Amino acid sequence: MAGSGGPTATFSVWDYVVFAGMILGAAGVGLFQAFRGRKDNSSAEFLLGGRQMTAVPVAMSLTASFMSGITVIGTPAEAYRYGTAFWLFAFSYTIMSSITAEIFVPLFYRLGITSTYEYLELRFNKGIRVIGTSMYIVQTALYTGMVIYAPALALNQITGLDLWGVLVATGIVCIIYCTLGGLKAVIWTDVFQMVIMLAGFVAVIARGAVIQGGLGKIWEDNYNGGRLDAFSFDPDPLRRHSFWTIVVGGSLMWVSMYAINQSQVQRYISCKTMTHAKMSLYVNMVGLWITVSLAMFSGLTMYSIYKDCDPFTNKDVGSSDQLLPYLVMDILAEFPGLPGLFVAAAYSGTLSTVSSSINALVAVTVGRLCVLFGALCIAMAAVASLMGSILQAALSVFGMISGPLLGLFLLGMFFRCANSTGSLTGLISGLVITLWVGIGAQIIVRPALADTWYSLSYLYFCPVAMLVTVTIGLIVSAITGGCKQEKINPEMFVMKEDLICFGCRRTDPENPATVLVEKVVPEQLYGLDNPQFTDIKPKLKDSDDTTKL
């Protein structure tokens, strides 16, 4: 009986049928898009969906690509153990969406780039691009390995599904439809998978409400248990979660994940107009609100059911990542197929993230390397077992690597005095600092972490790295003469017309009656300087004039 502890049921035949059907259905959507677009085998079609995507499917794909199996399993466990502070990320999503849509989208869309790291070469030099790309590949491979491994391990221990069989099957399915269908297949598959993920949460909440006597009873149990105390304004940077760590640190971390991360940028620049690109981020913001709310309420439901018989205390689970799968098998097993739906929800998140990562990794390198990157991500799954709590570990990885990269992009976009030497020095400095604290927190014995540099909130990894990168970058640039000897195309910088307060009234000089100019990049500029993906002419060289790229 739910809430009584002890052994739970295992997968039934119908659960396997539903699970397999959902996964094959997701793959089928991707393959359908692959065959649908088989007449156009251009790199623009493969990497950017022909730049003909619209806001809503792109928004759902943006949400699904980071609302992964880690979210499905890790976020409810966070609510169960620590309460609703994580819900404050809704503020972070709002800030992130506004900054990304109004500052970064206009620049990247205007330049017509395929890879965000092309910008680093255009603004600085090829060496910085290579370093930035390498950092992104390491980050993405490790994160994707975590996305594959953690849900597989938790579900294996609870449901009995074969661990490595599921790992390999996940990688193979993603490789097939990524290789054949490109970005369009990834986006439409993400839409399908997003629906499955939300359905899994709804099934858990609905059944929990029936067992506990209504949503009001669940809320009351969590109130009495102190789980609804979300707002803590303690400014201590060593505090794991507070209003400031989540809203300040979390916002910058999510900006680094959406504004410069290739898997996200590649989606919104695939939109057919800049308005669609911006709108996709705002619709995605709503999708993030809904997803995190359902995930958090699933955790509150779990607390209401297990408040008097903690699965940890009963030793029914060995880690927090097993809590939600344990609950599912406990309360849904009497409904054949519903546990399979939940497992499909967790793996839909995994598939969406893996496919997004593979497609993005291909876009920042040469050659269609879907198979190689798929194998790399599967291999990195083994490393994930060393990372501890999966949700915090995943966000820590992004903070440690994306923080310095965000600082590098900000140097290029906003500071005309920033040169290649200063920016590279800043990037390395930011990376060293954030790896120092991040890795140190992992390897130092836990009791020794109290009130030390290594107990800094993981949400501050990104802001600290970004500030170090920008500060050192500007200082070294000033010492080495700034950009006096470099000719930089003005298009490389954020312009006042790009910002929301100016861009909303921008007019077309050839048609003054036009209120908003939809900047559509000429088709021949796809990919700029990636000869493996395009037959375009060599990229335009930076010059003293304002020739558009």
pLDDT of 371 reads 53
pLDDT of 177 reads 59
* Choice between 519 and 286, residue whose per-residue pLDDT is larger: 286
CA distance 137 to 128: 14
pLDDT tops 60 at residue 540: no
CA distance 341 to 302: 18
DSSP 494-519: --GGGSHHHHTT--BTTBTT-SS---
Locus of tokens 């790309």? 133
Cβ atoms of residues 132 and 408 within 8 Å = yes
* Choice between 415 and 156, residue whose per-residue pLDDT is larger: 415
Retrieve residue 271's tokens.
């939109």
DSSP 20-79: HHHHHHHHHHHHHHHHHTTT---HHHHHHGGG-B-HHHHHHHHHHHHS-HHHHHHHHHHH
* High-pLDDT (> 70) share of the chain, %: 67
Domain boundaries, the chain: 13-388
Confidence of residue 198 (pLDDT cuts 50, 70, 90): confident
Confidence of residue 81 (pLDDT cuts 50, 70, 90): confident
pLDDT of 531 reads 36
pLDDT of 293 reads 92
Element (H, E) at 179: helix 163-212
CA distance 248 to 110: 29
CB burial class (10 A; 0-12, 13-18, 19+) of residue 183?
buried
For residues 221-244, give the mean pLDDT: 85
Q: Return the axis-axis angle of helices 163-212 and 13-36, rounded to nearest 10°.
A: 110
The number of beta carbons lying within 10 Å of the beta carbon of residue 543 is: 10
pLDDT of 149 reads 72
* High-pLDDT (> 90) share of the chain, %: 16
Retrieve residue 223's tokens.
């109130």
Instruction: Give residues with Cβ within 8 angstroms of 224, minimum separation 6.
Output: none
CA distance 503 to 168: 47
pLDDT of 398 reads 77
Half-sphere exposure of 39 (CA within 13 A, CB side): 1
CB burial class (10 A; 0-12, 13-18, 19+) of residue 486?
middle
Confidence of residue 543 (pLDDT cuts 50, 70, 90): very low
What pLDDT digit, counting tens, does each position of 205-220 carry?
Answer: 999 999 998 999 999 9
* Choice between 175 and 314, residue whose per-residue pLDDT is larger: 314
* Choice between 284 and 384, residue whose per-residue pLDDT is larger: 284
What pLDDT digit, counting tens, does each position of 291-317 carry?
Answer: 899 999 999 999 999 988 888 888 888
Half-sphere exposure of 327 (CA within 13 A, CB side): 32
CA distance 68 to 147: 7
For residues 270-280, give the mean pLDDT: 85
What pLDDT digit, counting tens, does each position of 515-533 carry?
Answer: 333 333 333 343 443 333 3
Half-sphere exposure of 513 (CA within 13 A, CB side): 0
Confidence of residue 427 (pLDDT cuts 50, 70, 90): very high
What pLDDT digit, counting tens, does each position of 107-154 carry?
Answer: 888 887 777 888 888 888 888 988 888 888 888 777 777 777 766 766
Highest mean pLDDT among 52-56, 189-193, 265-269, 413-417: 413-417
CA distance 234 to 245: 9
* Choice between 58 and 387, residue whose per-residue pLDDT is larger: 58
Least confident of 41-50, 256-265, 309-318: 41-50
Closest CA to 304 of 226, 209, 216, 222: 222
Confidence of residue 95 (pLDDT cuts 50, 70, 90): very high
What pLDDT digit, counting tens, does each position of 479-508 carry?
Answer: 988 766 567 778 888 887 777 644 444 434
pLDDT of 534 reads 37
Q: Where are the alpha helices (DSSP H) in 124-162?
A: 126-159
pLDDT tops 90 at residue 370: no
Write down the CATH superfamily of domain 13-388: Sodium/glucose cotransporter (1.20.1730.10)
Angle (nearest 5°) at CA 66 between 293 and 236:
65
Confidence of residue 37 (pLDDT cuts 50, 70, 90): low
Mean pLDDT of the chain: 75
pLDDT tops 70 at residue 412: yes
CA distance 177 to 422: 42
pLDDT of 521 reads 36
pLDDT tops 90 at residue 354: no
Q: Could you give phi then psi for residue 198, rounded to 5 degrees? A: -65, -40
pLDDT of 363 reads 62
For residues 383-396, give the mean pLDDT: 63
pLDDT tops 70 at residue 4: no
Instruction: Give long-range contacts, CB 8 A cutoff, 24+ apart: 294-297.
Output: 294/198, 294/201, 294/202, 294/205, 295/71, 295/72, 295/75, 295/76, 295/79, 295/201, 296/75, 296/76, 296/78, 296/79, 296/84, 296/86, 296/87, 297/79, 297/201, 297/205, 297/218
Q: Could you give phi then psi for residue 22, rounded to 5 degrees? A: -65, -45
pLDDT of 463 reads 92
Least confident of 55-59, 64-68, 69-73: 64-68
For residues 445-468, give the mean pLDDT: 76
Instruction: Give residues with Cβ within 8 angstroms of 374, minimum separation 6.
Output: 171, 172, 174, 175, 178, 354, 358
